[in-house]
């Protein structure tokens, strides 16, 4: 495998006319994609404006907004406030008049449900008026990104977006119609009660559904574009000529950049909808509490209950479960694309170091989770928090193993592990382990810093353990690749660095402990070399520290025990 001495693309002489022509072609293609996008999304965006879920004029490009649209914008503000006022009045009427005879235990449940609806709609009105420019930024990003894909000869089709919107709008309409019909019988045909119930319960949920559909659609578009990049990556890895390494690395860097753009865009989406998503979950749990209580009440007195009441409660229960599920589902789709790309890159083997380094950096980038700010930073719906907590536990065990005072170890606001001792704070897993080793006089610490070369290798393994092994062990595809790689490595060596136990072994041991623990006896036999290394470390009391002693007695470990490779 040889690198080309010259770039495969010959430099063309500077020509102002060619540059202007290319810029004109790019602008033409951009406008064409923009027209296609707005043609597909126009009807949905108009509906979103009517239902308080999008700013006025968002159904057309920002550049097409005229002075007269400012009048429509003011009318839209009045419309939003009017709808909100009507809802607030109906909520007050529902709570004070219709529910006056309810048992005391039920009133707080209903009140909390009403309150969440009012807060959620107020948040939607705030966002579409004070963060209205963000909606056009979303559209601009999609069009610009699609133009790049077009330049890379990737076929684009907005019809999948149209089908997606049509399908979800159909679901919203079906739920709306079914709840209205059931609600009519639920209110026993009393028109005033029927209208009030529709306003208090159905109207805010329809508005929230349409707002969520924007969120789903944005994640769907991220997912589809991620799939395009994944297809391109697979084709690149399968067909690239090793003789043209310059172009190959250039294409990898381009794909890394595009994946990074999608990753950042997903974070912006989650940040924009974060408060709304938090309210969806809070409101859904409140509503589930109400409906589960009502279902228990109806079923407990089935003979005297109206069947419409039970069906009505079931409809709302499934609807709220569906909302929470879809939020996770579309986020998971985005993560699956990155996970598949990671597996694809992990399976590739290149002899050239520059390519291996590029692939490794690409893998680490893909393993970052776009849902870290999913609910306003209060809780991450991913494995990052779990991984960070594992870092805290590993630091504690390594400090005990090195026989040094631990100090106070915790996660900071950014979920980064920190250690505080004698009023000195150190942040970062690798940095903390480095400071622990410098304070220790144990053999493990001494082994880890015998030479600068060993010190550098140990540090690299610690970084690899926290950035790749720990999160990768949570993914079944990456985990299998990790096990295969470690098993192959321990075929010819006893330890990760040199011929002695170092911090590198401890960091990797604690990172894959749960993964190895989950293996069946047969699976352990498939990774015989890794099992020998792992069993040797766990037999050391200072390493195991009270953890379960995993069973390796059924596999053949005798003459090949760790320590025999010299």
The residues near 287 (Cβ < 8 Å, ≥ 6 apart) are 113, 316, 317, 320
List the beta strands (DSSP E) in 305-435: 408-411, 417-421, 424-427
pLDDT at 369: 52
Distance CA 363, CA 361 (A): 5
pLDDT of res. 352: 59
For the segment 166-191, what is each residue's pLDDT rounded down to a tens digit? 999 999 998 888 888 877 776 666 77
Say if residue 341's pLDDT is above 60. yes
**pTM for this one?**
0.67
Retrieve residue 214's tokens.
């924007």
How many other β-carbons are positioned within 10 Å of the β-carbon of residue 150? 16
Whether 383 and 474 have beta carbons less than 8 Å apart is answered as yes
- Over residues 112-136, the mean pLDDT reads 90
- Kindly report, as residue ranges, where domains of CATH 1.20.1050.10 are found in the chain: 384-544
- Enumerate residues 6+ apart whose C-beta is below 8 A from 286: 109, 112, 113, 116
pLDDT at position 301 over 80: no
Asked if the model's pLDDT at residue 23 lies above 90, the reply is no
Instruction: Report the CATH fold assignment for 384-544.
Output: Glutathione S-transferase Yfyf (Class Pi); Chain A, domain 2 (1.20.1050)
Taking only the tens place, the pLDDT of each residue in 221-278 is 999 999 999 999 988 888 755 556 777 878 888 898 898 889 889 888 988 998 898 8
């Amino acid at each position: 495998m040889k690198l080309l001495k010259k770039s495969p693309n010959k430099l063309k002489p500077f020509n102002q006319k060619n540059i202007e022509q290319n810029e004109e072609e790019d602008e033409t293609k951009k406008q064409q994609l923009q027209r296609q996008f707005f043609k597909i999304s126009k009807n949905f965006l108009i509906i979103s404006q009517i239902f308080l879920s999008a700013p006025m004029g968002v159904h057309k490009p920002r550049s097409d907004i005229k002075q007269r649209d400012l009048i429509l914008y003011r009318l839209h503000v009045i419309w939003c406030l009017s709808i909100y006022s009507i809802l607030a009045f109906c909520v007050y009427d529902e709570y004070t008049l219709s529910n006056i005879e309810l048992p005391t235990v039920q009133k707080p449940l209903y009140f909390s449900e009403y309150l969440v609806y009012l807060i959620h709609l107020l948040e939607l009105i705030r966002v579409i008026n004070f963060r209205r420019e963000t909606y056009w930024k979303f559209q601009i990003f999609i069009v610009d990104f699609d133009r790049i894909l077009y330049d890379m000869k990737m076929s684009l089709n907005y019809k999948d977006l149209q089908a997606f919107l049509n399908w979800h709008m159909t679901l919203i309409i079906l739920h709306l119609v079914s709840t209205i019909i059931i609600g009519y019988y639920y209110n026993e045909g009393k028109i005033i009660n029927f209208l009030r119930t529709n306003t208090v319960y159905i109207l805010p949920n329809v508005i929230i559904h349409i707002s969520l559909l924007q969120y789903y659609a944005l994640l769907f578009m991220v997912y589809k574009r991620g799939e395009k990049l994944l297809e391109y990556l697979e084709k690149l890895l399968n067909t690239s000529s090793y003789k043209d390494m310059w172009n190959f690395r250039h294409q990898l860097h381009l794909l890394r950049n595009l994946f990074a753009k999608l990753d950042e865009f997903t974070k912006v989406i989650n940040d924009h909808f974060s408060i709304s998503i938090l309210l969806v979950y809070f409101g859904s749990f409140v509503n589930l509490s109400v409906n589960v209580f009502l279902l228990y009440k109806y079923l407990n007195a089935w003979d005297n209950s109206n069947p419409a009441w039970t069906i009505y409660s079931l409809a709302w229960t499934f609807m709220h479960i569906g909302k929470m599920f879809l939020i996770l589902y579309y986020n998971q789709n985005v993560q699956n694309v990155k996970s598949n790309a990671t597996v694809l890159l992990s399976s590739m083997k290149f002899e050239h170091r520059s390519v291996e380094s590029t692939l490794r950096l690409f893998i680490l980038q893909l393993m970052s989770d776009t849902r870290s700010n999913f609910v306003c930073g209060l809780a991450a719906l991913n494995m990052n928090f779990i991984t960070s907590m594992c870092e805290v536990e590993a630091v504690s065990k390594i400090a005990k193993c090195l026989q040094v005072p631990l100090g106070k170890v915790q996660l900071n606001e950014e979920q980064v592990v920190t250690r505080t001792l004698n009023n000195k704070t150190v942040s970062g897993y690798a940095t903390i382990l480095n400071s622990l080793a410098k304070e220790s006089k144990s053999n493990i610490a001494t082994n880890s810093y015998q030479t600068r070369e060993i010190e550098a290798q140990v540090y690299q393994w610690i970084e690899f353990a926290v950035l790749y092994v720990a999160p990768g062990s949570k993914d079944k595809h990456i985990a299998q690749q990790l096990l295969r790689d470690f098993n192959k490595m321990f075929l010819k060596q006893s330890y990760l660095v040199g011929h002695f136990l170092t911090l590198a072994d401890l960091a990797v041991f604690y990172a894959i402990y749960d993964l190895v623990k989950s293996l069946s006896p047969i699976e352990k036999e498939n990774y015989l070399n890794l099992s020998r290394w792992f069993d040797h470390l766990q037999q050391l009391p200072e390493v195991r520290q009270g953890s379960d002693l995993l069973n390796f007695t059924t596999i053949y470990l005798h003459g090949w025990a760790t320590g025999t490779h010299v």
